Chains A and B, each alone.
Chain A
Amino acid sequence: MWTFIIRRLIQSLIVVLGVTLITFVALQMSGDPTYLYVSERATEAEIQQTRVALGFDRPLHEQYLKFLGNLAQGDFGNSLSYKRPALEAVLEALPATIELTLFSMIMAIGLAIPLGVFAALYRGTSVDGSIMTMGMLGQSIPSFWLGIMMIMFFGLQLRWFPISGHVPFIMPLIQGNVVQAFSQLPQALYYLIMPSVAVGFYSLSRNARLVRSSMLEVLGQDYVRTARSKGIPEWAVVIRHALRNAWLPVVTLIGLEFGFLLGGVVVVEMVFSWPGIGRLVFNAINQRDIPVVQASVVILALVFISLNLIVDLIYAKIDPRVKL
């Protein structure tokens, strides 16, 4: 197992390097960002001065190598627009995004399993029909649209949920204010619900359908039939035998799911004014704030890689067929 982990870590290093290289090349290709960092009436001399100060006058490979050298020391450089360490800005925005992605993942998987199981157990009935219809619809609505509609309806009309904004939970936890964190947990969850539905509804729908079909398959297997014939109550059959096997494909999805949900985060953070990394990096790309973009993609890649590693390890534990 240790060789597996070490091999994966080396691979991750390559992945992270690749990610930085792509980002670097992409942002450099987009032209000289100096003009974004000089004032409206700057003279040509001032522009050149700024260009030198920002290091954009150096040859590309030199800039990239310098970046790598600093990166090795954990330094992404200063954000061009915020004038402070880029990593700091990213780490400050990360918890809000983690909250959003985690919560939508919990929802997308936690709700998908019971829904999928119900649909499978009541196959062909109206229960099945309505769950599957919802599942189909959920996979055809763009997340920004769902978000805006929820704001109009549940936020503005019914006043059930806050329209936008964020109450932090992870941040105070990290800072050691455990009491504060937990005292505002209900508020934090309250603010989380609509954005995470917008992020996770697509996945929820897909997973519910996935669980349903693998559940149907498992229910037809010999060992389930044997268990039933032994007179074991139906719920026990479902939980002990069927469910255990049916949710394996969902577990394998968790790692990829995180990456997928992160994709929806940019749009949803805009709609719900969520102070996360998606909005940060979107603005940074538009501002050509290369240090912030680099720091964000590296951090996101690291989160993604470690999550996948953990999932693989867990998977090896719960599925005896998989050996590392």
Chain B
Amino acid sequence: MAVDTVTAARPAAPPLSNRRKEFRRAWRSLVAAKWPLVALFILLGVLFAAIFGPAIAPLDPNRQNIMLRLADPLTAGGRNNAMFYLGTDGLGRDVLSRLLYGARISLMVGVFAIMVGGTIGVVAGLVAGYFGGWIDDVIMRLGDIQLAFPFILLAIMFLVILGPGVFNIILVLGVGQWVTYARIVRAQTLSLREKEYVEAARALGDSTFSVIFRTILPNIMAPLTVIASFNVASVILSEASLSFLGLGVPPNVPTWGAMLADSRDQLMANKWWLAVFPGLAIVCTVLSFNILGDWLRDFLDPRLKTVG
């Protein structure tokens, strides 16, 4: 419904030869808008932590020492008199190291979940939109069923059954997203199906597969990218909520959401660092994805105002 209002599709495919020009234009727009640039740098920082976190983390994120639990930031202690720059958590684990390792898992959950949901949704939407008829009906009814089901209940139900685990979280959160993509892609495909260049590809004898994935898909990437960037943000938040309900990742896997959820017992005891650092990490990352999504939407197609 929300997305049906977005059906105003772009008139024609942009010539791919101008890619470099496009990039330059994008960069200029990014610099001009300032905040998106900041967001981009924050995300690059998070990405850096995600890739190199294990290499730069000062300590083993799972090494416990309950004698050193809840140590203030900048406390030193333990076997090698190691420095806990951001303090320790309720089991005496180093918060900084967990935060760095957590970047990897949190980002992975966010991005992979979108890839799972996006892939299912895009394929379903393309197929539904291109073929129409009963296939379309079946796919869209499946989508209706899922939308009528408060997503969190579905997630809870499956996580209770599958048990906690990074892979299961990605799967559940990903599957929860597909309808959004399917609906947009379907609407776009419906309108593109009749466009001249699609007709032309078909007339030239391209296979159905080729028409769908080589001709139509590239032309609907713009709204998809925008939605994906907003979605990563909401998936990271959902992961935190599931951690709160005890359905997140296993306790030895550090994620920002789980760290934040675990910190709530210590809030009253003024152990602020347990909440503030993962909280800041989440807010900054989610905010950056949202800001970048905003910019991307304006940049790619100002008419996509209602998305997200």
Using CB atoms and an 8 Å cutoff, list the residues of chain A in contact with chain B.
11, 14-16, 18-19, 22-23, 26-27, 29-30, 136-137, 139-145, 148, 152, 202, 206, 209-210, 213-214, 217, 249, 252-253, 255-256, 259, 262-267, 270, 281-282, 285-286, 293, 296-297, 300-301, 304-305, 308, 311-312
Contact = CB atoms under 8 A, between A and B. Distances in A.
A9 to B, nearest CB: 13
Contacts of B222: none
Given A30-B160, A282-B245, A252 B237 contact: no
Given A26-B158, A30-B160, A286-B160, 17 more contacts: A15-B144, A19-B148, A19-B149, A136-B291, A139-B233, A142-B241, A142-B257, A142-B282, A145-B275, A214-B306, A249-B305, A252-B4, A262-B150, A263-B151, A264-B152, A267-B244, A285-B156
Interface string B144-166: 11011111111011101100000
Interface string B253-273: 000010011001001100000
Contacts of A281: 153
B51 interface: no
Contacts of A265: 150
Contact of A213 (B145, B154, B305): B305
B148 A27 contact: no
Contact of B157 (A26, A206, A253, A300): A26
A282 B154 CA distance: 11
Nearest to B4: A252
Given A142-B237, A249-B306, A263 B290 contact: no
A27 B240 contact: no
A264 B260 CA distance: 17
A136 B260 CA distance: 19
B58 interface: no
Interface residues of B, number: 45
Contact of B240 (A19, A142, A270): A142
A191 to B, nearest CB: 22
A287 to B, nearest CB: 10
Contacts of A267: 152, 241, 244-245
Nearest to B286: A140
A202 B286 CA distance: 12
Nearest to B287: A140
B260 A304 contact: no
Contacts of A312: 1
B156 A282 contact: yes
Contacts of B245: 266-267, 270, 282
A214 B308 CA distance: 13
Given A262-B150, A266-B152, A300-B150, A137 B241 contact: no
Nearest to A30: B161
Given A15-B144, A139-B286, A140-B290, A301 B149 contact: yes
Interface in B126-178: 141-142, 144-145, 147-154, 156-158, 160-161
Contacts of A252: 1-2, 4-5
A210 B148 CA distance: 23
B134 to A, nearest CB: 13
A214 B305 contact: yes
A248 to B, nearest CB: 8
A145 B279 contact: yes
23 contacts: A11-B144, A15-B144, A18-B142, A18-B145, A19-B145, A22-B145, A26-B158, A137-B287, A139-B286, A141-B237, A141-B283, A144-B240, A152-B267, A249-B2, A249-B5, A252-B1, A253-B2, A264-B152, A297-B149, A300-B148, A301-B148, A301-B149, A304-B150
